[in-house]
Structure 1
Amino acid sequence: MSTQLMFAVTVFVLGVLVGFEVISKVPATLHTPLMSATNAVHGIILIGAMLLAGTVQTWPGYALAFTAVAFATANVVGGYAVTGRMLKMFRRRTPDAGHAPPRAGRPS
């Protein structure tokens, strides 16, 4: 294994371990704001992973680049999905077309 590949694998493994440790310490009530606030960071990571994937020339490098792009894509898609669900909670609910709104005045 070359020195560059060993360095890349070491950085990748340390990044996974540190990322898991940091995220596991976040309380459950903060996961949604944390996800929505970091969508831009995940997008930058995805672009960096794609740029790095264009420079690799070995099969282990391709495997690491594919893994990095897959994880970054999952972060971006998941972040926007969670943000969309969070924003839906703040919309006003409209009554269904089949149900009439309650009438004011005497009960029937």
Structure 2
Amino acid sequence: MSLTLIFGLYVFFLAAFTGYQVISKVPHLLHTPLMAFTNAISGISLVGSLLAAGGHFGTLSTALGAVAVLAASINVIGGFLITDRMLRMFKKKGGAR
């Protein structure tokens, strides 16, 4: 195994462990703001997938980057729509804005 692959796996597992620990400790009251924050993080993955798709690293890399762009776009748009819907549930009905 190359050193780059080992480092990549290390970062992946560390991020997965940290993410699980952070999400599992969040109280239910904070799930909506946390969801909005994770949508911003998904936007960062969208930028990374755009770089992979347009990096001219080869045909396979460009194809996988395009699939990643599609998946990240769906994740970001869907996440913001769901967050907006959740926030509308907390608005008062009537004239108060």
TM-score (norm 2): 0.62
User: Aligned partners of 1:73, 1:9: CA distance in 2, in Å?
Assistant: 24
Amino acid at match of 2:45: I
User: Aligned partners of 1:49, 1:8: CA distance in 2, in Å?
Assistant: 16
Q: Deviations over 1:28-55 (max 9, x none)?
A: 1101121124422320122124424666
Partner of 2:22: 22
Alignment gaps of 5+ in structure 1: 94-108
Alignment check: 8 A CA contact 1:32 1:82 kept: no
> Quick one: structure 1 residues 52 and 20, their matched pair in 2 at CA, closer, same or farther if it must change by over 3 Å?
farther
Give the number of the structure whose residues are more often helix, by fraction: 2
Q: Which structure has the larger Rg over C-alpha atoms?
A: 1
> Quick one: structure 1 residues 80 and 50, their matched pair in 2 at CA, closer, same or farther if it must change by over 3 Å?
same
> Quick one: structure 1 residues 3 and 37, their matched pair in 2 at CA, closer, same or farther if it must change by over 3 Å?
closer
1:51 is paired with a residue whose SS is: helix
- RMSD, aligned α-carbons: 3.3
Amino acid at match of 2:34: L
Alignment gaps of 5+ in structure 2: none
